[in-house]
Structures are given as C-alpha cells and as structure tokens.
C-alpha cells in the first residue's frame, strides 16, 4: 500500500497528514490515468508535470506537492518536480499578493463575509438550546453531534485554525489539546503544518468560545470515552479531521448556500481584520521593526 511507503519516510507526520497526502497522491494518479497509485515512480514524468502546470494555481500547487511527496515515498528525487514545487509557491504567493479573490473564493464567498459564520453559530445555538436543558447523560449521540456542530462553527466564527481542531484532546496529552489555566481556556497545537517554521500554536480562546466550551464539555464527557473534542454522529467515536472538514463544508452549503471550507474561513477572517493588519504593518514600517520586535516594544 502506498500509505505504508509514505509512513516510512514521513515518520514525524500525524495520521491525518498521512491521509491528506495519500488522498492528494491518489487524485494526482487519477489525473495521470491510473485507477490506483502505482507502486513505482515512472508515472511521475515530465508530461504529467506539464499537464498540472496548466491548472489553476491552487490545483497546481496541491498536485505538484503530492508528486514530490510521492517521489520521496518511492525513495526518489527529481530536480524537475522540486522546481515545480518552487514555481507553484511563487505563483501562489504572487496570486495572493494581489489581494484578489480567486474564482473559487468568489463562488463560495458568503454574503456578509466572516460575519456569516458568526450568524450561523447563533442560529445553531438557538437550535440546540433545548438539548442544553437536558441532563448530559440523557441526550442521544445524534444530539451530541448537533451540539458538536454548533461548537465547531462557533469556534471557527472566532478562530481561523486549520483542521487541527479535530485532533484536539480534552486533556493535556499528546501534541494538540485544550486546557484550562486559571479561569480561562486555551488551545495548544503542537503538531501542525507550519510547526517547523513558527513553533507550537497556543492561544486563549475567545470569551464566547470559552462559554460554549463550558456548555459543551459536560455532554461530551458524559457520552464519550475517547478523550477528544469531536465525535461522530452515530457511534460517538472520535471524529476524523477529514470528516470534520467535510461536515463544515456540508453544513455551510446547507445553511448559507455556500460551500465554505476551513481555508476560506481563514481568508474570511484575515479579510475582516484588514484594517488592523494594515495599521500594524504601517507601524512596523515606521519603527523599522519585524513583527516579533514590534510586540517586544509593547509596555503595559
């Protein structure tokens, strides 16, 4: 199985990362005309690279990275594919620097922007209010799932984390978890996509998310034993990262008429913060500081 090859060379990767890479390599293999991922590297040729170069930049980037990961799994290297990865990154950064919506973003952009996610969270809370009046042990798994949907949307209405929320434990264990310190709740993400460059992500949850978490946790603890933040609908076992992302897309499509993924949530949140970001950037220019140094100059 190709997944085993990938695990062998990506020892520090989480299972969710392995699944994502495997899924993307399968998509690339299908594009190359294969029903399944071949167990050799010959299919990753110049013609396939030429083909994916013609795709929109996001698709090109995803597929060329998948090709490079596949080559690594086969124990091979390719200067051509490595340059393809660099080219995709340059094109992606150039596109993003224009601060224009991509065609995909334009088609999925909800009315009201990031505020639409907040309104959806409020709607879902109204719909689960009756469940929150019940004793935690008295609810069904389906009702727990509804509570979880509300909490996830509430979380993303305030925080634009990647899909790592699905890997969060409700105790301080492993790399990703939520924890209480003093009278506040925090999230710690020690294993994520850019950890090698930025280190662990650790931040205090928004007050509204903290309040939602306090309401949600007693029900989660009463109905599950897996120790993670999210559960499946029928059997209440740990929800996978992929299924959480799918749930968000399906729920937003059903309620907002727009299929919104976590990546778009991150763009929506950043766009909503444009004024503050620009002011911070102007101040850094004025002071001649980087972002880290700028924070060090704050005195309270």
Same domain, 117 and 266: yes
Same domain, 90 and 119: no
pLDDT > 80? residue 294:
no
Task: Rounding to the nearest 10 degrees, give the CA dihedral for residues 169, 229, 167, 101.
Answer: -140
Q: Are 217 and 205 in contact (CB under 8 A)?
A: no
The answer, as to whether pTM is greater than 0.85, is no
Backbone angles phi, psi at 85, to 5 degrees: -65, -45
The reply to whether 234 falls in a domain is yes
- Which residue range(s) make up the domain with 151? 109-278
Same domain, 77 and 153: no
Detail the DSSP E strand segments found in the chain: 176-181, 184-189, 201-204
Question: Per residue in 111-164, pLDDT tens?
Answer: 999 999 999 999 999 999 999 999 999 999 999 999 999 999 999 999 999 999
CA 83 to chain CA mean position, Å: 26
Among the listed residues 256, 236, 207, the one whose alpha carbon sits nearest the alpha carbon of residue 147: 236
The reply to whether 292 falls in a domain is no
Distance CA 299, CA 296 (A): 8
Q: Are 187 and 178 in contact (CB under 8 A)?
A: yes
pLDDT > 80? residue 174:
yes
Q: Are 250 and 225 in contact (CB under 8 A)?
A: no
Look at residue 282 in the predicted model and tell me its pLDDT: 76
The reply to whether 196 falls in a domain is yes
Same domain, 186 and 39: no
The reply to whether 207 falls in a domain is yes
Q: Is 290 exposed, middle or buried (0-12, 13-18, 19+ CB in 10 A)?
A: exposed
The reply to whether 294 falls in a domain is no
3-class DSSP state for residue 134?
Answer: coil
3-class DSSP state for residue 181?
Answer: strand
Same domain, 135 and 93: no
Same domain, 120 and 197: yes
Same domain, 161 and 63: no
CATH of the domain at 141: 1.10.443.10
Domain count of the fold of the chain: 2
Question: Per residue in 86-105, pLDDT tens?
Answer: 999 999 888 777 777 777 88
The reply to whether 285 falls in a domain is no
- Cα distances from 128 to residues 139, 143, 155, 157, in angstroms, run 11, 8, 16, 17
The reply to whether 53 falls in a domain is yes
């Amino acid at each position: 199985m190709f997944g085993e090859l990938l695990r062998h060379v990506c020892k520090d990767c989480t299972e969710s990362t392995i699944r994502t890479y495997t899924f993307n390599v399968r998509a690339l293999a299908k594009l190359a005309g294969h029903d399944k991922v071949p167990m050799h590297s010959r299919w990753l040729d110049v013609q396939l690279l030429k083909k994916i170069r013609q795709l929109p930049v996001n698709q090109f980037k995803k597929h060329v990275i998948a090709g490079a990961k596949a080559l690594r799994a086969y124990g091979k290297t390719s200067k051509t594919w490595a340059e393809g990865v660099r080219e995709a990154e340059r094109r992606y950064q150039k596109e993003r620097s224009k601060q224009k919506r991509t065609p995909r973003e334009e088609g999925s952009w909800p009315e009201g922007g990031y505020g639409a996610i907040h309104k959806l969270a409020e709607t879902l809370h109204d719909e689960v209010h009756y469940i929150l009046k019940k004793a935690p042990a008295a609810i069904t798994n389906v009702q727990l799932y509804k509570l979880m949907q509300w909490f996830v949307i509430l979380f993303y209405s305030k925080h634009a984390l990647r899909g790592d929320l699905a890997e969060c434990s409700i105790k301080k264990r492993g790399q990703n978890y939520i924890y209480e310190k003093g009278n506040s709740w925090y999230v710690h993400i020690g294993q994520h996509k850019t950890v090698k460059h930025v280190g662990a992500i650790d931040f205090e949850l928004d007050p509204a998310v903290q309040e939602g978490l306090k309401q949600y946790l007693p029900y989660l603890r009463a109905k599950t034993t897996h120790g993670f933040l999210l559960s499946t609908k029928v059997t209440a076992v740990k929800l996978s990262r992929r299924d959480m992302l799918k749930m968000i897309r399906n729920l937003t499509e059903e309620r907002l008429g727009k299929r919104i993924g976590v990546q778009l949530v991150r763009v929506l949140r950043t766009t909503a913060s444009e004024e503050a970001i620009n002011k911070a950037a102007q101040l850094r220019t004025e002071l001649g500081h980087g972002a880290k140094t700028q924070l060090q100059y704050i005195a309270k």
